[in-house]
Amino acid sequence: MVLWWIGALVLLLVVLPVVIALLNRVLAAVERIRDAADGILADGVALNDGLEPVPALLATTDETVEEIRVGAVRYAGSVQKLLDS
């Protein structure tokens, strides 16, 4: 019976504080992860607000590419005339 009391005291005085200290470290790490996740979410929402005009800009991409193509063909034609002379 005395060994049971010694074992209980060792458990109470040695093991329990170690478990509490480790749990405290784990909970602190979880709190830092939660803060980082909240920051990522806030930045993601801000980024999403900045991306709202993108679909409208992509709608004019075909027109822009066509204008660049026309200009490039005109430039290449002029260069070809210079090279032929």
Q: Considering the entire predicted model, what is its pTM?
A: 0.49
Residues 9-68 pLDDT 10s: 888 888 888 999 999 999 999 999 999 999 999 998 888 888 888 888 788 888 888 899
- What's the mean pLDDT in 61-82? 89
Q: Tell me phi and psi for residue 84, to 5 degrees.
A: -70, -25
d(CA 69, CA 47): 32
